[in-house]
Amino acid sequence: MTQDASGRATYRMLRLATLVVAVMLATSVLIQRVVAGCWQTSISASYWTAAHSVFVAALCAVGVALVVNRGNTYVEDVVLNYAGFFAFGVAMVPTPREALCGGPGLPAGFDPAPLVRNNVLAVLVAGVLAEVTQVVIDRRAGRGGPAWVRPVGWVVITGFIVWFFAAPASFLRHGHAVSAVTMFVGIIVVVLLNGFGARHSASGPTFGRLYDTIAATMALTLVATGVVAVTGHAGSHAVLWVETLLIAQFSAFWLVQTVELWDVRTRAQLV
């Protein structure tokens, strides 16, 4: 196998593995549902159930996939990196605990605060190191884009870091939701960029329309999440179905992009 073929095979397996991780998470949640005989009010609540380890591992795996996957453009690549960073936030900071509807889970007296302090700090240190390394690599390779892109990301991350240190109680309660919303906003931006890029490349309008449709449905679903929270339905199963839709939509985007770019690493290589 040539070096180029080996690299392409690795790239393909990385993309397919991300979809397998989504299946793993869905399976774990379903097993918990069968054992408990009921649904928790959200997929995020899986943190507190027997699906805990798979939930955390799946979000971390998705975070890694978003970070290491090279975007078609400089802007897309930067946004993917920041979306991946916040996937770790979704994994490490739990949603506020709700009573188990049934089945096994973490002990009733379990306190996640020490874990959040340790794990999030580790993610912050690794994230800063990764960002510095990426900037150095891009500069040496002469790769760049709009000057405002990275600074905007730095402002967002800095706010996240300040919040973590200055208001740990607030961070513990709301860090999961903020991380999730920020991650999905980043993913929606990435999908929109792919729609624009596909329409102006050899991929053609069909892929462009697919990306636009996915981005629109993700945006509407994210708005629905806000409506659910504001109207006080966060304790109902509405959140569960909204999260399910978002995960399905992300998986659809990842699958469509995998099909479109199966034989190339970036859209610019299509002929």
pTM to 2 decimal places: 0.92
In angstroms, how far is CA 9 from the centroid of its own chain? 23
Amino acid 204: pLDDT: 86
- The better pLDDT of the pair 226, 267 is held by 267
Binned at pLDDT 50, 70 and 90, residue 166 comes out as: very high
CA distance 50 to 246: 22
- The better pLDDT of the pair 9, 61 is held by 61
Mean pLDDT to the nearest integer, 25-37: 96
Q: Around 208, how many Cα atoms within 13 Å sit in the side-chain half-sphere?
A: 10
In a domain, 249, yes or no: yes
In a domain, 271, yes or no: no
Is residue 69 within 8 A of residue 194, CB to CB? The reply is: no
Across the strands, what pairs with 105?
A: 49
In a domain, 270, yes or no: no
CA distance 230 to 226: 6
In a domain, 219, yes or no: yes
Q: Select from 117, 92, 90, 95 the least CA-distant residue to 48.
A: 95
CA distance 179 to 92: 10
Question: Per residue in 190-243, pLDDT tens?
Answer: 999 999 999 989 888 999 999 999 999 999 998 988 787 777 666 678 888 989
Amino acid 207: pLDDT: 95
Of 57-61, 165-169, 201-205, the least confident: 201-205
In a domain, 201, yes or no: yes
- The better pLDDT of the pair 77, 7 is held by 77
Instruction: Please report, for residues 1, 43, 46, 161, 191, the alpha-carbon distance to residue 251 in angstroms, rounded to integers and kept in the order given.
Output: 30, 16, 19, 29, 12
Question: Per residue in 101-132, pLDDT tens?
Answer: 999 999 989 999 999 999 999 999 999 999 99
In a domain, 269, yes or no: no
Give the domain extent around 39. 3-264
Amino acid 91: pLDDT: 97
What tokens were used for 215? Answer: 């981005």
Is residue 213 within 8 A of residue 255, CB to CB? The reply is: no
Number of domains in the chain: 1
Q: Select from 181, 180, 208, 169 the least CA-distant residue to 192.
A: 208
Is residue 98 within 8 A of residue 48, CB to CB? The reply is: yes
In a domain, 204, yes or no: yes
